[in-house]
A and B are shown apart, each in its own frame.
Chain A
Amino acid sequence: MKILTGNDLKTGDVVWWDGQNWSRDVNDAADAGGDADAILAREDAAVRVNAGYVIDALRTGDGVRPAHIKDRIRALGPTVRLDFSLKPADTNVSEWVL
């Protein structure tokens, strides 16, 4: 699947296109299919996302998993500060990243 990611303009937070809006959780990411460029152009013009780009990902039983390690780390947060991950209480939160 093709998914869209970027950063929230005001806060810089990593965000993922969920089909309607931008979510902080990669598991909300929607398949943009062939519309990726059009969506990014529209969202950029509307100042709703910054530095957006399209990536390959897989939808697994455990959630959406970006294909490249860099994007998986973007989705998780720093592997050395799991207290800043989306689920800081989950000690296994980083297992799928590496």
Chain B
Amino acid sequence: MYQYDQYDQAMVDARVAEFRGQVERRLAGELTEDQFKPLRLKNGLYLQLHAYMLRVAIPYGTLNSRQMRLLGDIADKYDRGYGHFTTRQNLQYNWIKLEETPDILADLATVEMHAIQTSGNCIRNISSDQYAGAAADELVDPRPYAELLRQWSSFHPEFDYLPRKFKFAVIASDTDRAAMRLHDIGIQIVANECGDIGAKFHVGGGMGRTPMIAPVIREFVPALQMISYAEACLRVYNRYGRRDNKYKARIKILIHEIGADEYRRQVEEEFAHVLTLGLEPPAAELARIQGFFADPGFETGLSDEVDRSDPDFAVWLNQNTVAHKQPGYAVVTISLKPIGGIPGDASADQIRLMADLGRDHSFDELRVTHSQNIVLPHVKKADLYALWQKLEAAGLGSANLDLISDIIACPGLDYCSLANARSIPLAQKISQRFADLDRQRDLGELKLKISGCINACGHHHAGHIGILGVDRKGTENYQLSFGGSEAADTSLAQITGPGFSEDGVVDAVEKATNVYLAQRSEGERFLDTYRRIGMAPFKEAIYG
């Protein structure tokens, strides 16, 4: 994985020192909160419902065991013994003290981590495919391209005060595991008819209060012009994006209003200009970065056979591992969704254990998924049983990847100052209702996503079943929707009708699954059945 050079480290160290001074001035009363707020947000520090919250960037969700271990240590030393993995592959601490934040950032800098640009109207952490470098179906590893974008976008002076926040996702396979089309810019690394590598640009996607699927703005940008094209996309947005209304300030609104064709025309015009400026990094820099992402020293000649005689292990093996490009290896997903648990939360001890397992079983690599789970990307199949036993002992052995209890949920009103309703208790109740693993497996792939407000951090628009918490005259109310997807078949969920109480929506979800079980055809997922039969039978069951 990528390692900082002297410039990277110097930039991060300088930022820590700068923020330490800003915090000292704030505590001394030399800065007002209005003056300080944009400074702390640029360093990932929010003031949430109960305390300060620090969001730590995990570039494209990749980290090594030393970094993961430190995240656990910080949870113990500065927080309350746990961390929360987010839907943008980051980690949040919920109980941070302002006076200790510079020390936390200094600790993070010792392992090449930071919280820069995890908030504010700038280019945020670049997300990617959690199986990058391991997936059997990828064209190339997308992370060198994500890293190139990270370097370009870090402290980019022109894009430090955009109309609104801006999110990239980069993938390199037709199987979209990163909700790519629901980002401000979604890039798929592709090959053209000559076999040259380039970037397919989708621009103007997003969730939030106005969900949109990004249209394709350019089918192929040569890899060595990707940065220039991104620069052009951002420049047009920066010039015309609305700053007078934050609810209409995202790039998706601009493209919707002027049309994809007109946006494309302007980007092409700007792109032609940008190409004359020589902004593009040299090919040698991409090659240097790619060198950090070379395959680890996979053993060859390994068997793909795994002893499945332990039935519980066999279930986990089937559910939580996927094919690796290298024979004899598997990609393992560690579920952070135990029945009745808090989606995405992990204790300091669990974080450190996962760090150790990444070191011992996965060439020192771990990944954070946008579904709030952890991936060990390169595990020898011969090690899987021993690995599973260690996970089971630590409460990390849930065999529920992509099942109904593998719920995405934002922190909701239990933690978030923007939320209107709680998300976590609802996730807990649904997972408890469907606790029986055989029942879950019978239901098959069913992606349920919960947001506690219209900002949609819980991706409810993209849920096969989506739930949005709203405030109805001071009482929590939950809108139910069906038919969303953030995979290659991206679609936006449709609201079923009137909302429900917390218990009512759990019942409604169960009724919907019953409709699916009664109506499904061979091989159909919940989503497929919904798409085939439409909303009516579900509405009848829920409201009838």
Q: Which residues of A contact B (CB under 8 A)?
A: 7, 9-14, 44, 46-47, 50-51, 67-70, 73-74, 77-81, 84
Contacts and interface: CB of A to CB of B under 8 A. Distances in A.
Given A78-B415, A79-B414, 16 more contacts: A10-B97, A11-B51, A12-B95, A14-B50, A14-B51, A67-B474, A69-B475, A70-B49, A73-B422, A74-B49, A79-B422, A80-B424, A80-B425, A81-B414, A84-B80, A84-B95
Contacts of B47: 7, 12, 50-51
B33 interface: yes
A78 B82 CA distance: 14
Contacts of B422: 73, 79-80
A7 B48 CA distance: 9
Nearest to A52: B33
B52 interface: yes
Contacts of B424: 78, 80
Contacts of A69: 413, 471, 474-476
A74 B413 CA distance: 9
Give the 3 A-B CB pairs with smallest separation, nearest first: A12-B51, A12-B52, A78-B414
B51 A10 contact: no
B27 A73 contact: no
Interface string B397-437: 00000000000000001110101001011001000000000
Contacts of A51: 33, 47
Interface residues of B, number: 30
Contacts of B97: 10-12
Contacts of B480: none
Interface string B46-67: 0101111000000000000000
B414 A10 contact: no
A14 B50 CA distance: 6
Contact of B51 (A13, A44, A47, A70): A13
Nearest to B48: A12
Nearest to B428: A80
Interface of B: 26-29, 33, 47, 49-52, 80, 95-99, 342, 413-415, 417, 419, 422, 424-425, 428, 471, 474-476
Contact of A47 (B27, B52, B80, B476): B27
7 contacts: A10-B27, A12-B47, A14-B50, A69-B475, A73-B422, A74-B50, A81-B342
Contacts of B80: 84
Nearest to A77: B50
Contacts of A74: 49-50
Contacts of A67: 474
Nearest to B96: A12
A70 B216 CA distance: 41
A78 B476 contact: no
A68 B476 CA distance: 11
A86 to B, nearest CB: 11
Nearest to B502: A98
Contacts of A73: 49, 413-414, 422
Looking at A44, A70, A80, which has the most chain B CB atoms within 10 Å of its CB?
A: A80
Contacts of B33: 44, 50-51
Contacts of A14: 49-51
Nearest to B30: A47
A11 B425 CA distance: 27
Contacts of B29: 46-47
A84 to B, nearest CB: 6
Contacts of B476: 69
Contacts of A80: 342, 414, 422, 424-425, 428
A9 B475 CA distance: 30
A10 B98 contact: yes
Contacts of B27: 9-10, 47
Contacts of A13: 50-51
Contacts of B425: 79-80
Given A69-B476, A84-B80, A7 B51 contact: yes
Looking at B33, B50, B425, which has the most chain A CB atoms within 10 Å of its CB?
A: B50
A80 B340 CA distance: 10
A67 B52 CA distance: 23
Nearest to A50: B33
Contacts of B419: 70
